[in-house]
Amino acid sequence: MCSEEGGMGRLSSAFWKVLGGSRRRAFSRSRAVVATAAKLEGEYRELTESDLAERLAALSRRHRPVDGDDGAGSTATFDRDELVRFLALAREVSRRRLDMPAFDVQLLAAARMFAGDVVEMLTGEGKTLAGAIGATAFALRGRQVHVISVNDYLARRDAEWMAPLYEAFGLSVAWISSTSTPEEREAAYAADVTYAAVSEFGFDVLRDRLGTDPIVPAPQVALVDEADSVLVDEARVPLVLAGSTAGAAPDSIITDLVRALKPDLHYRTDEDDRNVFLTEKGAAAVEDALGGVDLYSEEHVGTTLSQVNVALHARVLLRRDVHYLVRDGRVQLINESRGRVAELQRWPDGLQAAVEAKEGLAVSDTGEVLDTMTVQALISRYPTVCGMTGTARAADEQLRTFYDLGVSIIPPNRPCVRVDEPSRVYATIADKEAAIVDYIARTHETGQPVLIGTMDVAESEHLAKLLERAGVDCVVLNAKNDAAEAAIIAEAGALGAVTVSTQMAGRGTDIRLGGSDQADHEKVKDLGGLCVVGTNRHVSRRLDEQLRGRAGRQGDPGRSIFFSSLEDDLVVRHAPDARLPTTTEEDGQVTGLAAERLLDHAQRVADAALLEIHSNTFRYSRLSERHRAILDERRELLLGTDTALRELERRCPDRYRELSAEIDEEVLVSVARRITLFHLDRCWVEHLAFLSDLRESIHLHALGKQNPLDEYHRAAIPAFRDLLGEVDERAARTFEEATITAEGIDLDDAGLVRPTATWTYLVQDNPFGSELDRAFRGIRRMLDGRRGRADDED
């Protein structure tokens, strides 16, 4: 009842069965190991502290892998007996040190992670402990583990919470947050197990690539928390290291001018709200307002027109309290899939500044992209990857294609008895809201706690107002009051609590029945546990499942229901030309399967669009990552040897002779290195800019019957070849012209400043469809045209 098997899951499990079910066999082997470990429980419980310490010490005799071995070799795993003993010990240690003995299912999850799987565990089943046991297993085998968390808060909490467990096994544990200093980071990376948010690991790698002394050790094991969110949802977001250049916001004249434009008359948006563009009237209006310029002339294209477009995008497509918040005089982005403020995220290409201008705030610096890396590239650095999440099944296909990861479904410790009521579909948003308020009011009367999941900040506030009008007291939790998050969540399960939240409460939060003191636990349980109300279907089935998962934790009772309407964004954006069911009940509810199917369809289209972005990001970034790897090799060579000077000597022998007569060889080596590295990094920045230009228009090649990806490579690869020559040339020029003294060289370095992250934005690979598609569309248009004419004549 709790999690019906998804279509995809069914398909792939059938697939594995056909292939001999090696995964299923491995899974049942792990089960057998856990069962054997369970038999030892009684014996280990009786152990005195010193006996226990002895056994731990025996197991903890590390198998440090030989130098050069990445640890993936055979020495890195336990044999069966060792694994059994390890799991039994882990349970005993967690009982004594953490006061929460690990359940069999947690041990099973740990064993599957140790085998390199992503495990699916329902909420409240204790992922943190299972993950820590898994990480311990790797670390005992002498491999450094990076536990990749969702945010700084969780990284620190989990590391500190689990520290006694690690210490009992003689392992060191550390965490990194965005405020950690380089020294703290270096120390944390030296620990056996390091907890940090994915962006911290990523930025450290990026910083290493640009710096001169790397701090991130060679990657060994990544254990990813909320794996589907990090590996699938966040994988679309490239991490960007940017150097500040002055902020370039659109002129205030243009911002004002754009504000005065009218929808449909002056500008239009496309169906899925990803693009906005001026109409001819709009362009004319802008031109008049600017004193009769020609927007599309050479002179204005790169400047005025870009400004207008960016300002228009900021005004129309980015909505306050949906996409961003304004707080403390700053624009803060909201992470779509988590509903939280995304501290480090920024919009690219002047959009951030345009939004700031729109809100009348001070314009912040604009980043120039120095280097970039996708989350996927970060994860694929690790030879061993495993993870855990509450919704792995629906991401099964993607985890396998993009990361070659298998999924293990861990059964719940106690069976889940949540009741998922059939969702209700309404014709209009107004009908839906009325029904939601009514439903909540009725549930609230019984005293059952209600958690409402809305789409965005604006909706949560709107709904709270409606509820108040209906006489229901409620608490709002959204990105605006995230400081109060812990307190609100603690009370969300209390008797009679009504909490209106965004996606923030959708993932990772653990709502205990009966409030913080759990006084009314039994009473709430008798009322049916927590009732979760979703006011919209999300863009991905996984997000719906996560929200539902807030109810019915650890065998508690619970209830969930989703309300949607045919006017929801999901339908309007992703199934715009669907025929809407028209028959409704008195209260506006649309019954029958058609409406339900339409919503499922819209959700699948939305999911497919995101997947398309993901796989495009992946396919297009693979090449530049390859290029980056070549540059990294080169950098390493330059850093470790005197290659830079030797090459400059070969290119400019006269200059070298002249300099070496006066200046120490050692100084010259370092000067040559700095010059060459500077130009290498500079050329890379330019190369990245070139690539993003190229990426923007490459889909046009589909019209010339060429494969856009092939054409992209055809243009990008020669450019990279040229880059290497260009570096040498520029370095030689600097070497010839710069003043080099005995102290070295004064490079007017561009300051490499604080990194910032950005968002990707959609560039669809082939928006035209295949040629055949177009032919059929053409035929249809001709038919429609004729029909249209026939109608006119009638």
Q: Which residues are annotated as a binding site?
A: 106, 124-128, 510
Per CB under 8 A, which region of 107-115, 125-133, 297-305, 469-477 contacts other proteins? 297-305
Residue 615, classed as helix, strand or coil, is: helix
- The Cα–Cα gap between 645 and 669 comes to 5
The answer to whether residues 98 and 105 touch, using CB atoms and an 8 Å cutoff, is: no
Q: How far is the CB of 364 from other proteins (least distance, A)?
A: 14
Q: Is 513 helix (H, G, I), strand (E, B) or coil?
A: coil
**Residue given tokens 């209390």 in the structure block:** 494
Which region, judged by CB under 8 A, interacts with other proteins, from 433-441, 524-532, 588-596, 703-711?
A: 703-711
**Interface stretch with other proteins, choices 139-147, 375-383, 402-410, 603-611 (CB under 8 A):** 603-611
Q: State yes or no: residue 690 binds other proteins (CB under 8 A).
A: yes
Spatial separation of the C-alpha atoms in residues 553 and 546, rounded to whole Å: 12
CB of 248 to other proteins, least distance (A): 6
Q: Which is nearer to other proteins, 374 or 460 (CB)?
A: 374
Q: Is 703 in the site for other proteins (CB under 8 A)?
A: yes
Report the residue number, 187 or 685, with the smaller CB distance to other proteins.
685
Please identify, using beta-carbon distances, which residue of 327 and 626 lies nearer to other proteins. Answer: 626
Residues 334-373, mask of contacts with other proteins (x by CB under 8 A): --------------xxxx-xx-----------x-x-----
704-763 residues near other proteins, rule: CB under 8 A = 704-707, 709-710, 713-715, 717, 721, 724, 763
Under the binding rule (CB under 8 A), the answer on residue 327 touching other proteins is no
Retrieve residue 7's tokens.
């279509």
Q: Which of residues 107-146 bind other proteins (CB under 8 A)?
A: none
Structure tokens at 411: 């059964």
> Two tokens at 762?
């959609």
**Range 522-581, binding other proteins (CB under 8 A):** 575, 578-579
Q: Are the C-beta atoms of residues 728 and 314 closer than 8 Å to each other? A: no
- DSSP secondary structure string for all residues of 613-650: HHHHHHHHHHHHHHHHHHHHHHHHHHHHSSHHHHHHHH
Distance of alpha carbon 241 from alpha carbon 754, whole angstroms: 8
What single-letter DSSP state applies at residue 378?
A: H
Under rule CB under 8 A, residue 307 binds other proteins: yes
User: Which residue, 280 or 792, has its beta carbon nearer to other proteins?
Assistant: 280
Query: Residue 325 Cβ, how far from other proteins at the closest point, in Å?
Result: 23
Residue 157 or 601: which CB sits closer to other proteins? 601
Piece of 61-69, 478-486, 670-678, 690-698 that binds other proteins (CB under 8 A): 690-698
User: Pairing between strand 589-590 and 498-501?
Assistant: unpaired
Size of the site for other proteins (CB under 8 A): 84
Handedness of CA 265, 270, 273, 277 (dihedral sign): negative
Alpha helix (H) residue ranges in 429-519: 429-446, 457-469, 485-491
| Dihedral, 470, 525, 554, 449 alpha carbons, nearest 10 | 10
- Does residue 694 belong to the site contacting other proteins (CB under 8 A)? yes
The alpha carbon of 440 is separated from its chain's Cα centroid by a whole number of angstroms, namely 32
Q: Which amino acids are annotated as binding site for ATP, given as ranges? A: 106, 124-128, 510
As a whole number of Å, the end-to-end CA separation of the chain is 54
Residues numbered 155 to 184 that lie near other proteins (CB under 8 A) are none
Torsion sign (Cα): 692, 697, 702, 704: negative
Nearer to other proteins by C-beta: 75 or 770?
A: 770
Of 290 and 763, nearer to other proteins (C-beta) is 763
Question: What is the footprint of other proteins within residues 763-782 (CB under 8 A)?
Answer: 763, 767-768, 771-776, 778-782
The binding track of 659-688 with respect to other proteins, each residue x by CB under 8 A or -, is ---------------------------x--
Q: Which of residues 611-630 bind other proteins (CB under 8 A)?
A: 611-612, 623, 626, 630
How far apart CA 116 and CA 406 sit, in angstroms, is 8
The tokens for 144 are 């450094």
Structure-block tokens of residue 623: 């090449």
Instruction: Write b or e for each residue in 140-159: b if 16 or more Cβ atoms lie within 10 A of its Cβ, otherwise e.
Output: bbbbbbbbbbbbbebbbebb
**DSSP alpha helix (H) spans, 510-552:** 521-527, 541-548
**Residue 466 interacting with other proteins (CB under 8 A):** no
The residues in 53-72 that bind other proteins, with binding defined as CB under 8 A, are none
Q: Give least dist CB 127 to other proteins, A.
A: 28
Distance CA 179, CA 177 (A): 5
Binding of other proteins by 641 (CB under 8 A): no
Shortest Cβ distance from residue 543 to other proteins (Å)? 17
Restricted to residues 267-296, the positions that interact with other proteins (CB under 8 A) are 270, 275, 277-280, 283, 296
Length of the chain: 794
Closest to other proteins by CB, 458 or 623: 623
253 vs 630, beta carbon nearer other proteins: 630
Contact 586, 575 (CB under 8 A): no
**Mask: binding to other proteins, 468-487, rule CB under 8 A, as x and -?**
--------------------
222-251: contacts with other proteins (CB under 8 A): 245, 248, 250
CA pair distance 537, 426, nearest whole angstrom: 12
